[in-house]
């Protein structure tokens, strides 16, 4: 059997290839047949350029239909896809290109696909084993140097099959696709579910509330990062009439605020389905499609995923093992060895717990854990208290150097209000060692493109906050 991911995905394409794969905002569409033909030509062209199976092909460009075709063509040719965030600067880019050594680097997918139009199409996907590499995903790199996570054809296929079943994808679904395609969320999680069932995607090259609201009546489900949902809720035109026809809204890549979950339920009458994942293993756990979805929990581990808390602690680092876990960091055996246990579990670096029911709750990244006066403070616990207080849109709790406590708890708050009042309210609800010593108000928290708050930036900006404390 050929484990090439493209062969696996295309086995799910509809028999009638005139059916739409992509619906476009201008009213146009791209059929499965058109996708298949363009992909075969890109694969053929890569072969003609001398790209060998296992060679890396990098793409750095704004999202486009041609970018999608390049991704699938690279898979079909048996090469390894390396997506790069178009926001990377030349210096950052140099690091990735130097590390990954791609055979081809594409910056203009439109031109590449046009050039490939003259090539002999590749009819059969290049034979690949389940363990062969399909993609190299550089982690978002919020600390240290970004590392290339090696994802295999078999691992990605296993995750896609699980999600397709878990979220009940069928041929008549229409998925709203407004996520970038340089990251696992838009590239693998969303795309693969749709392609595997031969269903359509409403394709937006970027997220815009207005365009999403216009597209939703034609969609049956949506995947997004939490900021998509907060931005939609901030728009008056996001109503039950517009969104009521969708069967599920899925959120991931960053924690969904309880307030967003509740407001969404009140406005739209549905509970957002939150799931948890990371570049190194795609989706790890998910709330159920049928059954209760709880605000703040990321649900149950996916079938086949073994999940445990390190050292059998009640709260600790989440460790996982399963078919979709990556094969290690590219050319970095030392880091790979460090991040896997002797019995083959990957240390995710996320801190969390499992309740008696088996649901997973995440309290933050291990590196964000604050140790103040010798006590562990889990930022999420403090953030959950703050986020409920008047004037707080969202908070980010960090630890910064403190001459007396080692680290002092600081809350950076998007919103406005009175510092002393917020501190007093936290003290009422939390142990005093968890209570922020300072609250700083900002108009917007720093976020990356996926909407994740960049705590490393905050720690850097506020590192001197307690330097004049005697």
Binding residues vs ligand AMP (CB under 6 A): 139-140, 184, 252-255, 274, 276-279, 298, 348, 350, 362, 365
Comparison of 43 and 318: residue with beta carbon closer to ligand AMP: 318
Largest separation between any pair of C-alpha atoms in the chain: 74
Comparison of 298 and 392: residue with beta carbon closer to ligand AMP: 298
Helix (H) or strand (E) holding 425: helix 419-429
CB 183 within 8 Å of CB 150: no
Q: Smallest gap, in angstroms, from Cβ of residue 265 to ligand AMP?
A: 17
CA distance 62 to 109: 9
What residues form DSSP beta bridges with 274? 251
Comparison of 184 and 268: residue with beta carbon closer to ligand AMP: 184
CB 464 within 8 Å of CB 407: no
CB 72 within 8 Å of CB 6: yes
Q: Smallest gap, in angstroms, from Cβ of residue 365 to ligand AMP?
A: 5
Q: Smallest gap, in angstroms, from Cβ of residue 100 to ligand AMP?
A: 17
CB 337 within 8 Å of CB 322: no
Query: CB under 8 Å to 117, separation ≥6 — which residues?
Result: 38, 41
Comparison of 38 and 221: residue with beta carbon closer to ligand AMP: 221
CA distance 42 to 116: 5
Comparison of 449 and 461: residue with beta carbon closer to ligand AMP: 449
DSSP-derived secondary structure letter, 93: H
Q: Smallest gap, in angstroms, from Cβ of residue 276 to ligand AMP?
A: 4
Q: Smallest gap, in angstroms, from Cβ of residue 56 to ligand AMP?
A: 19
Nearest to 438 by CA among 389, 381, 396: 396
Q: How far is CA 40 from CA 50, 126, 273, in A?
A: 15, 11, 36
Nearest to 6 by CA among 153, 181, 162: 153
Comparison of 219 and 351: residue with beta carbon closer to ligand AMP: 351
What angle in degrees, to the nearest 10, is found between the helix axes of 419-429 and 379-387?
120
Q: Are strands 104-106 and 56-60 parallel, antiparallel or unpaired?
A: parallel
Tracing tokens 């991704």 back to the chain, one arrives at 71
- Residue 462 structure tokens: 């506020």
Q: Smallest gap, in angstroms, from Cβ of residue 380 to ligand AMP?
A: 8
Comparison of 173 and 350: residue with beta carbon closer to ligand AMP: 350
Comparison of 220 and 251: residue with beta carbon closer to ligand AMP: 251
Q: Smallest gap, in angstroms, from Cβ of residue 166 to ligand AMP?
A: 15
Q: Smallest gap, in angstroms, from Cβ of residue 385 to ligand AMP?
A: 17
């Amino acid at each position: 059997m050929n484990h090439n991911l493209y062969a696996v995905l295309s086995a799910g394409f509809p028999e009638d290839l005139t059916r739409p794969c992509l619906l476009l905002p201008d009213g146009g569409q791209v059929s499965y047949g058109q996708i298949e033909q363009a992909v075969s030509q890109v694969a053929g062209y890569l072969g003609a350029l001398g790209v060998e199976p296992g060679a890396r092909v990098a793409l750095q460009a704004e999202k486009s239909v041609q970018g999608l075709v390049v991704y699938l063509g690279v898979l079909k040719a048996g090469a390894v896809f390396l997506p790069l965030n178009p926001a990377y600067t030349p210096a950052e880019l140099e690091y990735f290109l130097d590390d990954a050594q791609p055979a081809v680097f594409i910056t203009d997918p439109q031109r590449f696909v046009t050039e490939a139009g003259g090539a002999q199409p590749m009819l059969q996907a290049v034979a690949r084993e389940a363990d062969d590499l399909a993609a190299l995903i550089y982690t978002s790199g919020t600390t240290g140097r970004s590392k290339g996570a090696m994802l295999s054809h078999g691992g990605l296929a296993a995750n896609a099959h699980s999600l397709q079943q878990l979220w009940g994808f069928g041929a008549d679904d229409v998925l709203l696709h407004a996520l970038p395609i340089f990251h696992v969320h838009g590239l693998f999680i969303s795309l693969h579910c749709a392609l595997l069932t031969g269903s359509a995607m409403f394709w937006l090259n970027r997220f815009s509330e207005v365009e999403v609201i216009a597209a939703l009546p034609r969609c049956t489900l949506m995947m997004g990062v939490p900021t998509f949902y907060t931005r939609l809720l901030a728009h008056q035109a996001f109503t039950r009439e517009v969104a009521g026809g969708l069967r599920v809204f899925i959120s991931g890549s960053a924690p969904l605020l309880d307030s967003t979950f509740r407001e969404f339920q009140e406005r739209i009458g549905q509970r957002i389905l939150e799931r948890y994942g990371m570049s190194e293993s795609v989706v790890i756990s998910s709330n159920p499609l049928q059954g209760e979805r709880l605000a703040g929990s990321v649900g149950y581990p996916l079938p086949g995923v073994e999940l445990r808390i390190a050292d059998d602690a009640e709260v600790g680092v989440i460790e996982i093992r399963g078919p979709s876990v990556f094969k290690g960091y590219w050319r970095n055996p030392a880091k790979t060895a460090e991040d896997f246990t002797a019995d083959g579990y990957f240390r995710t670096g996320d801190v969390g717990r499992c309740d008696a029911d088996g649901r997973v709750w995440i309290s933050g990244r291990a590196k964000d854990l604050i140790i103040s006066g010798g006590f562990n403070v889990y930022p999420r616990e403090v953030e959950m208290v703050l986020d409920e207080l008047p004037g707080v849109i969202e908070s980010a709790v960090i630890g910064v150097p403190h001459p007396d406590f080692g680290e002092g708890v600081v809350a950076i708050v998007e919103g406005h209000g009175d510092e002393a009042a917020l501190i007093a309210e936290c003290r009422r609800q939390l142990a005093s060692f968890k209570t922020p010593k300072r609250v700083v108000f900002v108009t917007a928290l720093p976020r990356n493109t996926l909407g994740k708050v960049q705590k490393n930036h905050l720690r850097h900006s506020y590192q001197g906050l307690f330097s004049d404390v005697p």
